[in-house]
Amino acid sequence: MKLLKHIIFFLIINFGSLALGSWLMENGPRTVWYQSLNQAPWTPPGWAFGIAWTFIMVCFSIYLGYLFIKADSVKLKLAFSLQVFLNVIWNFVFFNQHLIALGLVVISALTVVIFTFFFNNFKTVQNKSYLLLPYMAWLLIATSLNAYIVLYN
């Protein structure tokens, strides 16, 4: 029961942060500005982003449920809060403010935070850490997409 409460808590926080980020980007991918950018040839179709983020946040919430039961600490709460902040603010920085280079810094920092979660907490939750792999893979793709835009626009 405790695990389920943790997972539901993190589902609410994670999907709430996705909703806030989506609101802050003001139709970002559908804007003329974004569509006019020179985008990477490996850019996924728009529909893939919603599916990917839904799957990622479900996996991440389950992972966090297990992790916080075993290792609830101030340091862990701060790391999670930083992840939420970076995940939300990237949408605003990149899509709303069109600061693509700063967006690359933000998404790179988010990537480092998630990889740090994986490596620093692997012993604590062991195989449950593999629930982070979709997030890690997607961030590598997203970072490469952002970097391509910085380099070729």
Q: 48-88, pLDDT tens digit by residue?
A: 999 999 999 999 999 999 999 999 899 999 999 999 999 99
Query: Where are the chain's structural domains?
Result: 2-152
Q: What is the pLDDT of residues 2-44, one digit of tens each?
A: 999 999 999 999 999 999 999 999 888 888 999 999 999 999 9
Express each pLDDT in 90-132 by its tens digit.
Answer: 999 999 999 999 999 999 999 999 999 999 999 999 999 999 9
pTM of the model: 0.95
SS3 content of the chain, % helix, strand, coil (to 5): 85, 0, 15
Q: At what angle do helices 46-71 and 2-24 cross, to 10 degrees?
A: 140
CATH 1.20.1260.100 fits 2-152, yes or no: yes
Burial label, 82 (beta-carbon count in 10 A; 0-12, 13-18, 19+): middle
Say how far residue 124 (Cα) sits from the centre of its chain: 22
